[in-house]
Amino acid sequence: MQTEDNVLPPTQLSEDTAVCISVKGLKESWQKWSDEHQEYQKHNPFTQDTRPSVVVPQRGQDDYGRPLQGSMTEQRGKDACTHISREVQELCEVIRMIGERRDKGGSNSKWKVITVEFGKLFEHYVTISNKLVGILLRARKQRLVDFEGEMLWQGKDDQVVITLMQ
């Protein structure tokens, strides 16, 4: 009979012995995953675990409301931020292309701005993305564009002027 420490060469293994070795490997793999998961749960603030070793970030700490560093959640957040930044930059380029240059302070001002009406931008931009209003709101939050009102609606707000700030 074979023990865990005494492994026979492959030529001497029977079918039953091969099954025991693979079951042993499965057991070790499962145990490793279980140990790692238990360790992870010690740091998970949403776990039902009531042991005092659970660390819950408090408001004001740097890691409060943020995913663990190096986690897939953190990477997905970074990827999403990069994607949205690209879309905001693309929106600004479209406004530069189709917008009109105007004087900012008056007729003899040397400051020029680029403006476009929402209806014209919507007509042009609808073939690029179906998220125009959301991207406009993000760009306004970053102070790249400005417009009146909290939300823009197709048809109702077609004459609202959108100003490219940079």
Q: Mean pLDDT for each 10-residue chunk of the chain (166 residues)?
A: 50 54 85 89 71 66 82 93 94 93 68 89 81 92 93 90 88
At residue 46, the pLDDT reads 75
Q: Reply yes or no on domain 72-164 having CATH 1.10.10.1540.
A: yes
CA distance 152 to 86: 21
Question: In one letter, which amino acid is 155?
Answer: G
Query: Coil, strand or helix: which one is 163?
Result: strand
Question: In one letter, which amino acid is 27?
Answer: K
pTM of the entire structure?
0.59
Q: Where are the domains of the chain?
A: 14-56, 72-164
At residue 14, the pLDDT reads 55
At residue 52, the pLDDT reads 54
CA distance 140 to 36: 44
At residue 1, the pLDDT reads 47
At residue 41, the pLDDT reads 80
First to last CA, the chain: 79
Q: Could you identify the residue written with the tokens 């091969």?
A: 18
